[in-house]
Amino acid sequence: MPAGVGIPRALLYYYYYPLWKEFFKTLGCEVIISDKTNKAILNDGLSHCVDEACLPVKLAFGHVLNLAAKKVDYIFIPRLVSVAKGEYICPKFLGFPDMVKHSLTGLPEIIDVTINMRLKHRELSKAYTQVGKLFTGNRVKIWQAYRRGEKALKRYNQLLLEGCLPEEAFAVMEGKQKQSKLNSHDLKIAVIGHPYNIYDPYISMNIIKRLNSMGARVVTADQLPEEVVRREAANLPKKLFWTLGQRMVGAGYSFVKDNNIDGIINIVAFACGPDSMTGELIARSSRKAGQTPFLNLTLDEHTGEAGVVTRIEAFLDMVRWKKSQQAAGLGSA
Ligand code: SF4
């Protein structure tokens, strides 16, 4: 029977799932993902995680428990320290495997390999070799699995760049037809936020589909090439050493300059230290440029759907009004 490797549908899942899936499948494992976020998963996370943690980390706890209930053999939660030279990932990613191991009991074996590419890129393949050895002694097979994973990740990132949402991209990679996008939207809205916040339909209250249904086409940081994001982030007087924060700021600066963007919505998770700073940097840049309406939305476990919908509706009304004023030659008023 193949070993069952569980992957929480949270945090890094939105960045690396295609790589992990291909890697473990090639090694002969069965890959099991936790269920889509629902009230029970969130409540489980909230009741088992420390109060001080940010919402995505609490939610990830719920997904780990969901996998444990599925009786998987392993749960894969790598300890991500750095994914780029001279940069770091938010410390919550670093501490997450230890938080899980010390707060939850009766879990399957946790694969918590450390990935630290701050100094050398080859640390990544070394980390995957370490994981692969749990399933085979054949180093060539491990290398092949890793290469296949990398290839899958490249394809996934390309699909995101082309405008697919993660779940849609996963489906396309499974052989499903790519959905053609209707072009019936009169607004183009940039949504900035971590993938695990904006793409989780439950936690984001389905913001992307909701905006679509209100007549807005949505663009996110994932539709910007890496070099654009990094070039824009380089405008900061001091380089941010958080890779994900840099990504948010770079995308925000790019959207602020883009005349085709009608409005920007920045989604921040409650208790997220890095986001409180990056959100403010983007908001300042938007105010300074004075062009693009900006809405800051903070999500926490108590956020009511009705309140979010009202704020989005009011924001879009304001964006449309502003556009109509400009079209009538009345400036931004
Ligand atoms: S970046 Fe913010 S939201 Fe993401 S894990 Fe870190 S503290 Fe949580």
- Average pLDDT (47-52) is 90
Beta strands in 235-311 (DSSP E): 263-269, 294-299
Give the nearest ligand 1 atom to 194 CA: 4
Listed range (59-63, 121-125, 183-187, 258-262) with the worst mean pLDDT? 121-125
- Average pLDDT (12-37) is 95
Contacts of 284 (CB under 8 A, 6+ apart): none
Domain-embedded: residue 274 = yes
The span from the CA of 223 to the CA of 162, in Å, is 6
Q: Which residues pair with 263 in a beta bridge?
A: 189
Residue located nearest, by CA, to atom 2 of ligand 1: 272
Do 8 and 56 sit in the same domain of this protein?
Answer: yes
Please give the residue range of the domain that contains residue 301. 183-332
Give the nearest ligand 1 atom to 197 CA: 3
Q: 220 and 229 in contact (C-beta within 8 Å)?
A: no
CA 11 centroid distance within chain: 6
Do 96 and 207 sit in the same domain of this protein?
Answer: no
Laid out side by side, the sheet with 216-220 consists of 216-220, 187-192, 263-269, 294-299
Evaluate if pTM is beyond 0.75. yes
What single DSSP character describes residue 88? Answer: B
Residue with tokens 């924001």: 315
Q: 268 and 193 in contact (C-beta within 8 Å)?
A: yes
Contacts of 215 (CB under 8 A, 6+ apart): 184, 185, 186, 187, 316
The span from the CA of 24 to the CA of 3, in Å, is 9
**CATH code for the domain in which residue 288 is found:** 3.40.50
Do 22 and 157 sit in the same domain of this protein?
Answer: yes
Do 19 and 163 sit in the same domain of this protein?
Answer: yes
Residue located nearest, by CA, to atom 7 of ligand 1: 272
The span from the CA of 131 to the CA of 297, in Å, is 38
Q: 91 and 273 in contact (C-beta within 8 Å)?
A: no
The set of protein residues with a Cβ atom below 6 angstroms from ligand 1 is: 54, 56-57, 90, 92, 194, 244, 269, 272-275
Do 27 and 161 sit in the same domain of this protein?
Answer: yes
Number of domains observed in the structure of the chain: 2
Minimal CA–CA distance to 263: which of 193, 326, 188? Answer: 188
Do 90 and 21 sit in the same domain of this protein?
Answer: yes
- Average pLDDT (285-302) is 84
Q: Which residues pair with 74 in a beta bridge?
A: 5, 109
Do 222 and 150 sit in the same domain of this protein?
Answer: no
Domain-embedded: residue 193 = yes
Do 9 and 101 sit in the same domain of this protein?
Answer: yes
The span from the CA of 117 to the CA of 245, in Å, is 17
- Average pLDDT (183-188) is 81
pLDDT of residue 278: 86
pLDDT of residue 333: 45
Question: pLDDT tens, 99-129?
Answer: 999 999 889 999 998 877 665 666 777 888 9
Give the nearest ligand 1 atom to 245 CA: 1
Residue located nearest, by CA, to atom 1 of ligand 1: 90
Residue located nearest, by CA, to atom 6 of ligand 1: 90
- Average pLDDT (32-45) is 95
Q: What angle, rounded to 10 degrees, do the helices at 139-161 and 13-26 form? A: 150
In the predicted structure, residue 285 carries a pLDDT above the cut 80: yes
Give the nearest ligand 1 atom to 93 CA: 5
Question: pLDDT tens, 308-320?
Answer: 889 999 999 999 9
CA of 15 to the centre of ligand 1 (A): 14
Residue located nearest, by CA, to atom 5 of ligand 1: 92
Laid out side by side, the sheet with 4-7 consists of 30-33, 4-7, 74-76, 109-111
- Average pLDDT (224-248) is 86
Question: pLDDT tens, 50-106?
Answer: 888 899 999 999 999 999 999 999 999 998 887 777 778 888 888 899 999 999 988
Please give the single-letter amino acid code of residue 26.
Answer: T
What's the length of the chain?
Answer: 333
Domain-embedded: residue 176 = no
Q: What angle, rounded to 10 degrees, do the helices at 166-173 and 13-26 form? A: 20
Residue with tokens 């396309």: 172
The span from the CA of 245 to the CA of 277, in Å, is 9
Do 201 and 165 sit in the same domain of this protein?
Answer: no
Beta strands in the chain (DSSP E): 4-7, 30-33, 74-76, 79-82, 109-111, 114-116, 187-192, 216-220, 263-269, 294-299
The span from the CA of 272 to the CA of 300, in Å, is 10
Token pair belonging to 2: 């193949």
CA of 207 to the centre of ligand 1 (A): 19
Do 75 and 102 sit in the same domain of this protein?
Answer: yes
